[in-house]
Amino acid sequence: MPLDSDEPPSSTPIPSSPNPPPNSTSTVLHLSFNQDSGCFAAGTDQGFRIYNCDPFREIFRRDFGPGGGIGLVHMLFRCNILAFVGGGSDPRYPVNKVMIWDDHQSRCIGELSFRSEVKGVRLRRDRIVVVLGHKIFVYNFADLKVLHQIETIANPKGLCEVSHVSGTMVLACPGLQKGQ
């Protein structure tokens, strides 16, 4: 996967363990399409997998082994940048942190921490959107600075979506009041 032009700042590397044999099984914890719906990512109890849609095939996997649960995973188009949140019974990362992973470098290059569990993450070339139970944060991808905070009603499912065309960003999420 080629490197995208928008790179967040670097952080301390987190090594991954070798991939287990192909006959090992993993439990799927999360699925998400990339922005053009040409690929999708699967978070599992041991890591993540990337699939191409047409033709359908697995194109990449990273298994961290036991203690490698990825509860949320989102790709940035077809590049090597992904956003992770730990999940499952043995998470790789805390459920209150978003880890920005560069698979070309096999390490986390950014981290966003919160006081509560992360319910959803969305990526654009210029923004990272993080959904919590009652709030949404919008960050600048380049420097991880907070641009907006949006209060929502209780949002346990992390409902949120963003437009992916360049220019004005449209963000759809539950409001505080009906019709908002």
Choose between 59 and 18: higher pLDDT.
59
Residues 109 and 29 in one domain: yes
Give the pLDDT confidence of 57-110 residue by residue, as tens digits. 999 899 988 889 999 999 999 888 999 999 999 999 999 999 999 988 888 899
CB 152 within 8 A of CB 134: yes
pLDDT of 179: 72
Whether 8 is covered by a domain: the verdict is no
> Which CATH number do you get for residue 180?
2.40.10
pTM, entire model = 0.80
Whether 61 is covered by a domain: the verdict is yes
Cα-based angle 9, 69, 124 (whole degrees, multiple of 5): 40
State which residues form the domain around 143: 119-180
Residues 23 and 43 in one domain: yes
Residues 135 and 101 in one domain: no
The proportion of the chain whose per-residue pLDDT surpasses 90, expressed as a percent, equals: 56
Q: How many domains does the chain have?
A: 2
| CA trace torsion 9, 13, 15, 19 (10° rounding) | 20
Residues 92 and 147 in one domain: no
Written as six digits, the tokens of 72 are 């949320």
Whether 2 is covered by a domain: the verdict is no
Written as six digits, the tokens of 37 are 């719906």
Q: Of 58, 91, 115, at which residue does a domain stop?
A: 115
Residues 142 and 129 in one domain: yes
Residues 21 and 105 in one domain: yes
Q: Of 84, 100, 115, at which residue does a domain stop?
A: 115
